Amino acid sequence: MDEGRHGELRAMLEELLTKFRTDTRDKVRRARPQDGDRRIGATDDDPPEDLERGVILATAQVASEMASAVGQALARLEEGAYGFCCDCDDDISPARLRALPFAVRCTDCERIREQGKEWERRETPTSLFLQ
């Protein structure tokens, strides 16, 4: 990878990292008005309801996962490993990198990982018999 491309990627990833980190912090703060200082000078509406708070926290979680993915991509860029899957070392397809510049896994490995997460999220096995 040439210097120019490297610098471009780094600048873009750093910008994304800042964005996702700010996003996470803002959302967490919004979801927890009681222990923040947001009311000072705040002009927005009432504190969110529980349901809304849950939704905000879920999006904060996503933003924080994105931030950590971008952080990993940056580290890999510095190591010269950017563009290769961190699980199987295969090339990540250019189309995937264009769509997700901070992808650290190829499509196949990402799918396997997502399935693993889905599995963890499931409730106790007994729920399978109660449906």
92 binds Zn ion (CB under 5 A): no
Q: Which token pair is 87?
A: 């699980």
Among residues 87, 130, 118, 101, the alpha carbon closest in space to that of 20 is found at: 101
Closer residue to Zn ion (CB): 67 or 92: 92
**What kind and span of H or E run contains 128?**
none
Q: What tokens does 35 get? A: 């222990």
Applying the rule CB under 5 A, the residues between 28 and 87 that interact with Zn ion are 85, 87
Interface with Zn ion: number of residues (CB under 5 A): 6
Q: Which value, in Å, is the radius of gyration of the alpha carbons in the chain?
A: 19
Q: Which residues contact 6 (CB under 8 A, 6 or more apart)?
A: 77
**Of the candidate residues 11, 42, 88, 112, the single one contacting Zn ion (CB under 5 A):** 88
Is 109 an interacting residue with respect to Zn ion (CB under 5 A)? yes
Q: How many angstroms separate the CA atoms of 81 and 79, rounded?
A: 5
- Is 104 among the residues that bind Zn ion (CB under 5 A)? no
Q: Cβ closer to Zn ion: 56 or 104? A: 104
Token pair recorded at residue 45:
């509406």
Nearer to Zn ion, 52 or 91 (CB): 91
User: CB 92 → Zn ion: shortest distance, Å?
Assistant: 8
Cβ of residue 131: shortest distance to Zn ion, in angstroms? 34
Q: Which residues here bind Zn ion, judged by CB under 5 A?
A: 85, 87-88, 90, 106, 109
